[in-house]
Amino acid sequence: MSDYIVLDPRFEALFIGHAKLEKLWTGCRWAEGPVYVPAGKYLVWSDIPNDRLMRYDETDGGVSVFAHPVGYHNGHTLDREGRIVSCEHGGRRVSRIDHDGRTRAIATHYDGKRFNSPNDVVVKSDGSVWFSDPTYGIDTSYEGDAAPSEIGASNVYRVDAATGAVTAVVTDMVRPNGLAFSADEQTLYVADTGASHVPGHPRVIRAYDVSADGRTVANGRVFAESDAGFYDGFRVDWKENIWTSTAAGVYCYAKDGTLLGKIPVPEIVSNVTFGGPKLNRLYITGQTSLYSIFLATHAAGWKA
Ligand code: MG
């Protein structure tokens, strides 16, 4: 099996021909939510049904349990202070692991109602926290605890860094899931996995223009439509290419929406994130396993 499928010549400059997809660990029931911690040279990811966080130590390849039980975490990201921000299905909240090791809530309610089950999260350069809130963690008790939705909708929310105020920023999706800002933060991308609940609903990543004050979005439109299951989580590199999960592996899109190429992965991919000291190693969570592959590009934010 080739490690790459080139669909557009631009893809040739983004991968390293002899770099192989590496299977780093297996043994999860559903792996998701990878976040790389540069100061510790490790990656943390979620094994949601087993209610645990795993840690991959980049220095020796060791894998250990980072936290268990943990409250059915799903997505993670790193904030501007290097702290892990978490989406908790069980706690139905977004929280942060502070430098003293304690977990503290960032957002628990919207308009007086509990969230459904925060799924994926990103932090903008102004410190605001943006997260999706579909129902997957309350639909059944497999990845959380079954419960009705109090809000009655699945939205994307923004938590203001200064005030903690929570506002709904994307309200036109069936089940918003993965999300990421473009490198220039002019665009917010959000995946909609609503076909899980509305048969035939388009399996898409939508793009939204971020307002000049950075607090709202508008002009939602389809950025890409999947031919292989769902887009779940994804990340953007410094050249504005979108590296996304699909059921057939990792797909790479240019900013103009062209599918540049694919990296086949032998399991359903849930999330990806850039890691390594140079942020040029794409970590991939896929169903039961953790994978990685070195690329000829890197995440936005890395400075030579
Ligand atoms: Mg997700």
Q: What is the pLDDT of residues 150-208, one digit of tens each?
A: 999 999 999 999 999 999 999 999 999 999 999 999 999 999 999 999 999 999 999 99
Residue 120 alpha carbon to ligand 1 centre in Å: 5
* Phi, psi torsion values for 53, nearest 5 degrees: -105, 140
Q: How far apart are CA 132 and CA 168, in angstroms?
A: 10
pLDDT of residue 303: 55
Cα atoms in the 13 Å half-sphere on the side-chain side of 12 = 3
Q: What DSSP assignment string belongs to 119-146?
A: --EEE-TTS-EEEE--SHHHHSSSSS--
Q: For the chain, which ranges sit under pLDDT 70?
A: 1-2, 302-304
The CATH number given to 5-294 is 2.120.10.30
Residue 75 alpha carbon to ligand 1 centre in Å: 6
Q: What is the pTM of this model?
A: 0.97
Question: In a 3-state reduction of DSSP, which class is residue 111?
Answer: coil
pLDDT of residue 2: 65
Question: In a 3-state reduction of DSSP, which class is residue 184?
Answer: coil
Residue 232 alpha carbon to ligand 1 centre in Å: 5
Cα–Cα nearest to 286, from 27, 1, 10, 7:
27
Residue 297 alpha carbon to ligand 1 centre in Å: 23
Residue 38 alpha carbon to ligand 1 centre in Å: 22
Residue 199 alpha carbon to ligand 1 centre in Å: 19
